[in-house]
Structure 1
Amino acid sequence: MSQDANAFQTALALILSLDPDLLDIVRLSLQVSCSAVLLAALIGLPLGAALALWHFPGHGILVVALNALMGLPPVVAGLCVYLLLSRAGPLGELGLLFTPTAMVVAQVILVLPIIAALTRQQVEELHHEYREQLQSLGLSRLRMIPTLLWDARFGLVTVILAGFGRASAEVGAVMIVGGNIDGVTRVMTTAIVLETSKGDLPLALGLGIVLLGLVALINAGAYLVGESARRRLG
């Protein structure tokens, strides 16, 4: 039996036996990514809706910048957070560098533009469709925000899932600001990089299988939400 086949079998054994080291890494990964997506959604959903409803000087530039930030390289986001939280940075006294909190901040920066930009597109389309009805009810733009967000909830769930997929698969930013410290800031993506470089293929493969499964669940969830929305509208 080849070495690769042995490594794959060992990886499956680690998953099925609920290996403590593997579980700790997966748990921290989910904790960091879920926290980042939650914070990004709390900021990005109302921000995107506000950009859809209010037009002001520089609005177009802001929208273009937000769309551009959807493709922000993770290493750039990580570098910015590193400079912010390092000892010489403005927030260095907080001592957050190389902690899960720093990793959450980096992932928020990556996910926030995605949620805000896609929310703006969906809310803007709904506003154009229902503008006359909303105005006939005497709703101000501020009061329209929760109404439109609720009406777009199925599409926004898909947006949030897309943000979670971006956060959970990211490696560059969390490597820079987290330091990949064993038992402290080591998540699935950084552990895969490290274990592969060390030649510990079973753990790297095990984490890779879990990560692929997580991505598959995210895509399945997005598909089911989309199908539910289509049946509802149909």
Structure 2
Amino acid sequence: MSDLLEGALQAFWLVFGRDPVLIEISLRSLRVTLTALLVACVIALPLGAYLAVRRFRLRRYVIAVLNALMGLPPVVVGLIVYVFLSRSGPLGVLGLLFTPTAMIIAQVIIIVPLIASIAHQALRELWSDYHDLLISMNASQGQRIRALLWDGRRALLTAALAGFGRGIGEVGAIMVVGGNIDHLTRVLTTAIALETGKGEFALALALGFILIAIAIGVNLAIHMLSGTEREGRW
């Protein structure tokens, strides 16, 4: 028990002392995950809106596959990306393996189905309300999608938040394609796993505190942007 308390105190000292190792790892984690989130949102949000608006023969199967991919094991995603980016793989000539770019690619693949599924569910209900109005206005398909994305932006923030949470907490795929290389691809989750294995509980706890703080901070930011608390007062 005393070792745990001592480790926790050391962890707080590292956090509030602005340890350069913690800052470096934290900034790299944010850079990788936020970049992956931006790319994933560009892909997933229009896809979710398209599935809500467009009716085509294989639509149900596409939605089913998208929902199934939400449960795709991240380590399998890491393995697939590794095979493609390895020297003998089709994209090996790019030299992206064990780089932050490879980690971003893996995170994009992991969080796109999640964001797209949540966006589709939210925009499907919105489309049922706007269907008659947009049809009567003779809006094009692109205009319908843009209208849904704009009017459903608060719900889409929730989808983005879910994607960020999935990405920032990812370990398996990031470890496989990033290699957990110090000063290059080491992020919060892989560093926690490494330091725990080494018995460096103080540093592991400090990294865990930062990860929790980031998650709470993002939740608060989304809450303020959505204006839910302000609306609740009225």
Q: How much has 1:4 moved relative to structure 2?
A: 1.4
| SS at structure 1 position matched to 2:181 | coil
1 CA distance for matches of 2:230 and 2:136? 27
Q: CA deviation at 1:78?
A: 0.5
CA shift for structure 1 position 220: 3.3
Structure 1 residues 88 and 228, CA, compared in 2 at 3 Å: closer, same or farther? same
Equivalence for 1:134: 134
2:81 maps to 1:67: no
For 1:229 and 1:207, the matched residues in 2 are separated by: 30
Deviation at 1:136, TM superposition (A): 1.5
**TM-score when scaled to structure 1?**
0.95
Q: Which residue of 2 aligns with 1:148?
A: 148
* Structural mapping, 1:27-66, within 5 Å: 27-66=27-66
Shift of 1:172: 0.5
Distance (whole Å) between structure 2 residues aligned to residue 230 and residue 121 of structure 1? 25
Who is 1:197 aligned against?
197
Write out per-residue CA displacement over residues 32-74 of structure 1, whole angstroms, 9 at most, x where no aligned residue. Answer: 0000000000111111111111121211111000011111111
- In structure 1, the residue matched to 2:111 is 111
Identity %: 49
* Counterparts in 2 of 1:126 and 1:229: CA distance versus 1, 3 Å: farther
Given that 1:85 and 1:95 are in contact with CA atoms closer than 8 Å, whether structure 2 keeps it comes out as: yes
1:73-112 map, 5 Å: 73-112=73-112
Any idea what SS the aligned residue of 1:57 has?
Answer: coil
Alpha-carbon distance in 1 for matches of 2:121, 2:230 = 18
Structural mapping, 1:205-216, within 5 Å: 205-216=205-216
1:12-27 pair list within 5 angstroms: 12-27=12-27
SS at match of 1:123: helix
TM-score, scaled relative to structure 2: 0.95
**Can you give the 5+ residue segments of structure 2 that lack an aligned partner in the other structure?**
none
Structure 2 letter corresponding to 1:85:
L
Asked if structure 1 preserves the Cα contact closer than 8 Å seen for 2:157 and 2:226, the reply is no
Query: What letter corresponds to residue 53 of structure 2 in structure 1?
Result: L
Measure, in 2, the Cα distance between the counterparts of 1:229 and 1:62.
Answer: 36
Aligned residue pairs, count = 233
Q: Distance in 1 between matches of 2:185 and 2:135?
A: 50
Is there any run of 5+ residues in structure 1 with no aligned partner, and where?
none
CA–CA separation in structure 1 for the residues paired with 2:23 and 2:62: 41
- Inter-partner Cα distance in structure 1 for 2:27 and 2:226: 28
